[in-house]
Amino acid sequence: MIDRSAPRKLAAELRAQFEAQGAVSVEPPFLLPADKLLDLYGEDIRGRAYVTSDPARGEMFMRPDFTVPVVEMHMAQGAEPARYTYAGEVFRRQEENPDRAIEYLQVGYEVFDRADPVGAEAEVFARIATALKPMGLKAVTGDIGLLRAAIEGLETTERRKAALLRHIWHPRRFRALLDRFSGRAPVPAARAALLSAADPLAHAGPMIGLRSAAEIEGRIAALKEDAATAPISERELELIEALLDVRETVPFALEQLRDLAVDLPAINDAVGRMAARSAALEKLGVSLETLEFEATYGRTSMEYYDGFVFGLIAEDRPDLPPVATGGRYDALTSKLGQGREIPAVGGVIRPGLVLDLGGLS
């Protein structure tokens, strides 16, 4: 039998530490309504969620993390600004990594603050990094907002921008779209044949799927419109690639990003926000000289992150997931806020991993 007493004790200690720093302790439910909340997670987490059915409530799932239920709770009844902490189990299937736990503890710290979003980002990172400082973990930061801004500034159609934004969290798909939209990759033969046909549905056979003929025709029209669109310029593509290649300590990363912003002005505001966050981190005692920034960091994590992201990892244990992760998720508050939204950022620690790596002593 697994001894859960030590992880629970550490989780309680970490939560108490965050409470002492001004966070209110909350306890979201274990079971959540699937029809309302499951789609807010990315493909990876949706595919690993434990789903069940309740005769009265319909399809339910066991929480795979705390952020979504905490946001739902806050948007329904929370005051502003607000700081929350929690400790409890989350549940994820692990078909691809059977040696990893399917049930484990998370301790979190979440901040909802309209007045100083950048300060809140620095606060969350510093609180979690300080709590784990005795472990000597490597901290990595990123900012999904930079890539989002670069995409939104492209000289191409809104349809193409939307497709790229939708696949930011799937690097291989994103790369394939960039190659296709820039003309580097040829149009697939099957698609080319479909678009060149006088009547694409002439030999389609009976309609047996969920889509209507009108929906299929609309999709074909969109594909034809895209085929007639001018490719993304080689210069814009090279700038996007240069942005994705930024991987340096924060001061040098900022220098590179400012240089890029001369030719890619769409990222100016995001770079300015990063600079302000860096200054806020320094005020909280975080050393920027050793803090790493990777423009691609966080692109395979939760799809609700839309800005600053971070992780704390054990460099000598690449087989383990990060000990702590976090990020900004403003769009999630809008989706759950019924027309209201508030800047929000948070992070989680895995007490079980902390103990597996030797604890905080």
Averaged pLDDT of the chain: 88
Strand stretches in 193-250, DSSP E: 247-249
Q: What is the pLDDT of residue 303?
A: 78
- Please check the confidence at residue 300 and state whether its pLDDT lies above 90: no
- Please check the confidence at residue 34 and state whether its pLDDT lies above 60: yes
- Please check the confidence at residue 1 and state whether its pLDDT lies above 50: no
Distance CA 186, CA 300 (A): 26
What are the tens digits of pLDDT across the range 312-350? 999 999 989 999 999 999 999 998 988 789 999 999 999
Instruction: Confirm if 243 and 263 have CB atoms less than 8 A apart.
Output: no
What are the tens digits of pLDDT across the range 62-116? 999 999 999 999 998 878 899 999 999 999 888 777 777 888 999 999 999 999 9
Instruction: Confirm if 63 and 29 have CB atoms less than 8 A apart.
Output: yes
> pLDDT band for position 352 (50/70/90)?
very high
- Please check the confidence at residue 177 and state whether its pLDDT lies above 90: yes
What are the tens digits of pLDDT across the range 207-248? 565 566 566 555 666 666 666 678 999 999 999 999 999 999
> pLDDT band for position 146 (50/70/90)?
very high
Distance CA 214, CA 325 (A): 44
- Please check the confidence at residue 196 and state whether its pLDDT lies above 70: no
Percent of residues, the chain, with pLDDT higher than 90: 65
Distance CA 86, CA 79 (A): 17
Q: What is the layout of strands, in order, in the sheet containing 103-112?
A: 24-25, 82-91, 103-112, 344-349, 324-328, 308-313, 138-143, 292-294, 247-249
The burial class, CB within 10 Å (0-12 / 13-18 / 19+), for 53 is exposed
The answer to whether the pTM exceeds 0.85 is: yes
Percent of residues, the chain, with pLDDT higher than 70: 87
- Please check the confidence at residue 26 and state whether its pLDDT lies above 70: yes
Instruction: Confirm if 104 and 352 have CB atoms less than 8 A apart.
Output: yes
Q: Which two tokens stand for residue 289?
A: 């000289």
Q: What is the pLDDT of residue 278?
A: 98
Where do we find the tokens 């994820």? 92
* Cα distance from N-terminal residue to C-terminal residue, the chain: 25
Instruction: Confirm if 321 and 315 have CB atoms less than 8 A apart.
Output: no
Is omega for the bond preceding 134 within 30 degrees of 0, making it cis? no
Q: What is the pLDDT of residue 356?
A: 93
What are the tens digits of pLDDT across the range 261-297? 999 999 999 999 999 999 999 999 999 999 999 999 9
| The one-letter amino acid at 311 | G
Q: What is the pLDDT of residue 138?
A: 96
